[in-house]
Amino acid sequence: MDEVDKIIMHQLHQVDAAIEPTDELSDFTPEQVVRAVSGCLAEIRPDLQLPRSLPGGAMAQRFGVASSLAQGCKDSGYRGDIGYQTFLYPNAVELRRLLMFLIEQLPRERQGTEDGSSKSQTLSHRQLLERKIRKELAQQLKTPWVPQFARSVGNRKLLGCSSLGIEFLPNINLNIPSANPEERSKEQQQYLDQQAPNLFQQTSSTSTDLVASVLHKNELDRWGQILPDSTLIFVSSEDPVTPLIPTVQPTASAGEEEASPIQELSDKVQELRVQCETLLAERKAHAVAIAALKQRETKASEEISRIQPTLKLHERTSLVLADSEENLAKLEALLESTQSKRLTLTQQWQDYRKPLLESLEKLKTAKEAQEVQSIRNSIEQLEQELLAKTQQHNELNATLCSASQSLAPRKEYTRRIHEFIGNIRKQRADIYKVLDDTRQLQKQLNVVGAQLQRQFNYTDDLLFQSAKHDLHAKRAYKLLAQLHANCNELVDCVSLTGNVTKQIRELEVQIDGEKLKNVLTSLQQITGDIQKFEQHIQELQEQIRAVEQTNARS
Amino acid sequence: MDASPGSSSALNTDDEQTALISPTVVAGLKNLGAIISLPLTKLLIANSLKLTLHPDATIAPVPELYAKNAACAKQSEYAVVTLFALGTKHGWDGLQLRQQLEQLNLDTAAVDELSRVYEDSRKDLILRQLQIGHSFPHITDIQWRIVCDVKSSTSDCSTGAACFHINLGHFRQSSGERVTIVEFVCNAEELQSLINRLKEIERHCQQMAVV
């Protein structure tokens, strides 16, 4: 049963997320029961106004809520035993039956809609329309086929038969005299008076319908009113443009008269243009020359900078060569001094360098040690992480196993269902066998009974005849009658015993059923509630008395 | 025009409703009882109604209507038919139609006649208009033949392939005559595909109908 309970819990959780799933239905409190049942009923019949929860305090209110829910369940077709007690003192068996019924009744489209949009208790127009269409379609699918001729007869229309025999085909070019006759020309008027076909002639062809054409033309005329207005606006805006044309024309004629100055001016312009062009060409030539000169200048400066260092060197050598010996000695002295200077400098350099190199070594070793340490740390950390991860993995594996076990896969269910079906078949065969046996027995009984009856009648006749003459035979007849009566009594007793055993079995089954309902606890709850009621009544009476007393005093 | 100022809201709603009628119709209605004499008006209304209700029946023409002012008569015929069609469309009863017409300042006798005729034949008008369906044809009948060519325009000998010649149509409501809507030829495979599609439609309907 716990699997059924699980399925019920799952469904209830989908209906109302506020219902906390518990392991078994017997753990449901009255508040949860009310919440679950009213949630289901609201889904099944959204038009129904039902209380969503059980009020905490007053018993009367609780009773009212429970009664209204029970009535709602009855109205939606629940046939089992239901009343306020089902909600206030729930027992697992009844509750399971009720919830299974309600879940079966839940509308199927709910599953589709609840994925996307948030659930709304009130239906939108679109949903209502869809529901209507669905109803109509269901009705149409059930109706028998009717030939077209019979569709508009009688109440066929109620059965979803369409009688729309005429197609909506308007003649879109209806020629009807327009509203104001002043606009028409003489020829038009004459045509309309004499030759134009009337409305009925225009729509008499099979491809058009009179009413459709007329409605179409009317709509066209109505909405056409808007169009002429807009064209009028365009016409009026064009109007001021037309007087411009004559003003332009005089300027053109004046231009002819003043031909000579314009000619003069254009000649001048031509001249200036030619001048401008020659100047531009000159400018271009100059620019090219400037560019060439600049290039030459850069080349020359480059050569100068190349030559200058060699020139300086030459000057110095010529200076040195002027007084060669003296200068040589000077140069040697300078060489020596620079060598000694260089030696002292290298010494100094070595002095400075040594401690620095040592410290560098020290620092390098320290850094390496530090790096090693940090790597070690990170290794340790990673090890710890690995441990945690493996642990988590194990845990998840365990939960996965338990989940797959607890969810009891579909295969398991089908196997069980097959098993049940097999059992039921076997039981049915047994029942049929027993029934056959019973019938056979009944037949035998009847045969034997009839035989016995015949035998008895025959014997009775025989003995009765001889009893008239013989005293022994008389006694035998009496004994026979007694034996017959006793046997009848015995048979009655046996059948009575059978009936009594049957009744006993039925009662045992009933007792078992009642035991399941655990009457004792509900009885305790009921007595507790009655006591509460009494207490409440006493309080109320006391209050009434107090009020009466105060009234009497005043 | 000379309405009391208190009934301004009523006037507004009437304005909305009279806007349903186009100026051509109004002009045609104004001809009744004015340019067209009253006996002719009655004749014209009766004739228009007859032709509206029985579009396929052969009804004797009434030449005296067009003897004088033929253009006006044609306009008025259109106006009367349109008025009745609009009245039926918007579900007016005789009184509402009369209110509409009184708004238009028509001849009183013509208004009386129009509302009387409308009231008398309202049921028939409704039935007539109820029969008008979509502009797409309703298919209610199907005929077929299995055909095989002996020779064709392009070949002198038979191809030996059988195909289905299918004709979808419906029956005309008034005369019962059969009207072909679509006629096509297909081979067995294409026919199978069509049938499967139709079955799909049925399945979809059943799916939709399941609550």
Average the pLDDT over A28-57 and give the result.
81
User: Is the pLDDT score of A259 beyond 80?
Assistant: no
User: Is the pLDDT score of A2 beyond 80?
Assistant: no
Name chain A contacts of B206, Cβ cutoff 8 Å. 141
pLDDT at B194 (0 to 100) = 93
pLDDT at A406 (0 to 100) = 64
In-domain check, residue B31: yes
A148 is written with which tokens? 């077209």
Domain that holds residue B201: 141-209
User: Is the pLDDT score of A545 beyond 60?
Assistant: yes
User: Who among B24, B74, B173 is closest to A165 (CB)?
Assistant: B173
ipTM attached to this prediction = 0.75
Tell me the residues of chain A between 127 and 186 that have a Cβ less than 8 Å away from chain B: 131, 133-135, 137-138, 140-141, 147-149, 152, 162-169, 174, 176-181
User: Is the pLDDT score of A25 beyond 80?
Assistant: no
Which of A101-115, A208-222, A260-274, A471-485 bottoms out in mean pLDDT, i.e. has the lowest? A101-115
Per-domain residue ranges for chain A? Answer: 2-122, 181-240, 262-322, 412-516
Name chain B contacts of A141, Cβ cutoff 8 Å. 205-206, 209
In-domain check, residue B135: no
User: Is the pLDDT score of A239 beyond 60?
Assistant: no
Give Rg (Cα) of chain B.
Answer: 27
pLDDT tens-digit profile of B173-186? 767 788 899 999 99
Do the chains contact at A133 and B25, CB–CB below 8 Å? Answer: no
What pTM, to 2 d.p., does this model score?
0.40
Residues B34 and B84 in one domain: yes
pLDDT at A384 (0 to 100) = 96
Residues B111 and B152 in one domain: no
**Higher-confidence position of B52 and A23:** B52
Do the chains contact at B22 and A222, CB–CB below 8 Å? Answer: yes
- pLDDT band with cut points at 50, 70 and 90 for residue A350: very high
Please say whether the beta carbons of B64 and B43 come within 8 A.
yes
Tell me what percent of the residues of chain A surpass a pLDDT of 90: 36
User: Is the pLDDT score of A425 beyond 80?
Assistant: yes
Angle of helix A259-322 relative to helix A244-257, nearest 10 degrees, comes to: 80
Please say whether the beta carbons of A141 and A158 come within 8 A.
no
Whether chain B has a CB inside 8 Å of the CB on A222: the answer is yes
**Higher-confidence position of A290 and B159:** A290
Do the chains contact at A211 and B78, CB–CB below 8 Å? Answer: no
Average the pLDDT over A326-331 and give the result.
87
Please say whether the beta carbons of B152 and B190 come within 8 A.
no
Nearest to B39 by CA among B94, B110, B116, B108: B110
Tell me which of B130, B162, B185 is where a domain ends.
B130
pLDDT at A542 (0 to 100) = 95
Average the pLDDT over A176-187 and give the result.
79
Residues B41 and B81 in one domain: yes
Name chain B contacts of A198, Cβ cutoff 8 Å. 66, 73-74, 77
User: Is the pLDDT score of B54 beyond 80?
Assistant: yes
In-domain check, residue B182: yes
- pLDDT band with cut points at 50, 70 and 90 for residue A114: very low
Q: ∠ at Cα B5 (B1, B10), nearest 5°? A: 80
Whether chain B has a CB inside 8 Å of the CB on A106: the answer is no
User: Is the pLDDT score of A240 beyond 50?
Assistant: no
Residues B188 and B104 in one domain: no
Average the pLDDT over A45-66 and give the result.
79
What integer best gives the mean pLDDT of chain B?
83
Most confidently modeled range among A453-462, A492-501, B61-70: A492-501
Q: ∠ at Cα A151 (A145, A156), nearest 5°? A: 85
User: Is the pLDDT score of A514 beyond 90?
Assistant: no
User: Is the pLDDT score of A172 beyond 70?
Assistant: yes
Residues B164 and B93 in one domain: no
Tell me what percent of the residues of chain B surpass a pLDDT of 70: 89
pLDDT at A164 (0 to 100) = 63
Do the chains contact at A134 and B208, CB–CB below 8 Å? Answer: yes
For testing contact with chain A, the best of B138, B199, B206 (most A CBs within 10 A):
B138
User: Is the pLDDT score of B4 beyond 60?
Assistant: no
Tell me which of B130, B149, B182 is where a domain ends.
B130
Residues B70 and B124 in one domain: yes
Q: How far apart are CA B164 and CA B145, in angstroms?
A: 6
Residues B117 and B168 in one domain: no
**Higher-confidence position of A540 and A241:** A540
Residues B159 and B97 in one domain: no
A49 is written with which tokens? 């106004």
User: Is the pLDDT score of A243 beyond 50?
Assistant: no
For testing contact with chain A, the best of B16, B75, B170 (most A CBs within 10 A):
B75
Residues B122 and B165 in one domain: no
Nearest to B97 by CA among B73, B76, B80: B80
Name chain A contacts of B70, Cβ cutoff 8 Å. 192-194, 196
Average the pLDDT over A363-370 and give the result.
94
Name chain B contacts of A131, Cβ cutoff 8 Å. 211
User: Is the pLDDT score of A226 beyond 70?
Assistant: no
User: Is the pLDDT score of A369 beyond 60?
Assistant: yes
Residues B118 and B160 in one domain: no
Which of A200-204, A331-335, B192-196 bottoms out in mean pLDDT, i.e. has the lowest? A200-204
In-domain check, residue B81: yes
User: Who among B75, B133, B141 is closest to A148 (CB)?
Assistant: B141
pLDDT tens-digit profile of B129-171? 887 877 888 888 899 999 988 888 888 888 888 889 999 998 8
Residues B10 and B104 in one domain: yes
Which of A108-112, A395-399, B135-139 bottoms out in mean pLDDT, i.e. has the lowest? A108-112
Name chain B contacts of A215, Cβ cutoff 8 Å. 82, 85-86, 89
Tell me which of B130, B149, B170 is where a domain ends.
B130
Q: How far apart are CA B41 and CA B47, in angstroms?
A: 10
Which of A63-67, A242-246, A387-391, A449-453 bottoms out in mean pLDDT, i.e. has the lowest? A242-246
Counted domains in chain B = 2
Beta-ladder partners of B180: B169
Whether chain B has a CB inside 8 Å of the CB on A409: the answer is no
Q: For B173, which residue in chain A has the nearest alpha carbon?
A: A165
Do the chains contact at A165 and B133, CB–CB below 8 Å? Answer: yes
User: Is the pLDDT score of A393 beyond 70?
Assistant: yes
Which of A209-213, A363-367, B57-61 bottoms out in mean pLDDT, i.e. has the lowest? B57-61
Which of A250-254, B54-58, B76-80 bottoms out in mean pLDDT, i.e. has the lowest? A250-254
User: Who among A141, A167, A176 is closest to B206 (CB)?
Assistant: A141
Please say whether the beta carbons of A24 and A91 come within 8 A.
no
Do the chains contact at B24 and A176, CB–CB below 8 Å? Answer: yes
Do the chains contact at A162 and B138, CB–CB below 8 Å? Answer: yes
Name chain B contacts of A199, Cβ cutoff 8 Å. 74, 77-78, 81
Q: How far apart are CA A162 and CA A143, in angstroms?
A: 12
pLDDT at A61 (0 to 100) = 82
Q: For B70, which residue in chain A has the nearest alpha carbon?
A: A193
Please say whether the beta carbons of A124 and A61 come within 8 A.
no
Do the chains contact at A134 and B78, CB–CB below 8 Å? Answer: no
Q: How far apart are CA A89 and CA A129, in angstroms?
A: 41
- pLDDT band with cut points at 50, 70 and 90 for residue B191: very high
Nearest to A477 by CA among A493, A459, A491: A459
Q: For B169, which residue in chain A has the nearest alpha carbon?
A: A148
pLDDT at A550 (0 to 100) = 92
In-domain check, residue B136: no
Residue A81, phi then psi, degrees to nearest 5: -75, 120
Name chain A contacts of B19, Cβ cutoff 8 Å. 222
What integer best gives the mean pLDDT of chain A?
82
Average the pLDDT over A445-460 and give the result.
91
Exposure b/e, A360-392, CB count within 10 A at least 16 = b: eeeeeeeeeeeeeeeeeeeeeeeeeeeeeeeee
Q: How far apart are CA A46 and CA A124, in angstroms?
A: 12
Q: Tell me which amino acid residue A442 is.
A: Q
User: Is the pLDDT score of A299 beyond 90?
Assistant: yes
**Higher-confidence position of A250 and A347:** A347
Tell me what percent of the residues of chain A surpass a pLDDT of 70: 86
Average the pLDDT over B56-72 and give the result.
79
Average the pLDDT over A386-409 and give the result.
86
Average the pLDDT over B173-202 and give the result.
89
- DSSP annotation of A57 reads S
Tell me what percent of the residues of chain B surpass a pLDDT of 90: 29
pLDDT at A541 (0 to 100) = 95
Do the chains contact at A179 and B86, CB–CB below 8 Å? Answer: no
CA distance B168 to chain A (A): 14
CA atoms in the 13 A half-sphere facing the CB of B175: 8
User: Is the pLDDT score of A341 beyond 70?
Assistant: yes
CA distance B176 to chain A (A): 8
Residues B36 and B119 in one domain: yes
Q: For A150, which residue in chain B has the nearest alpha carbon?
A: B173
Do the chains contact at A177 and B208, CB–CB below 8 Å? Answer: no
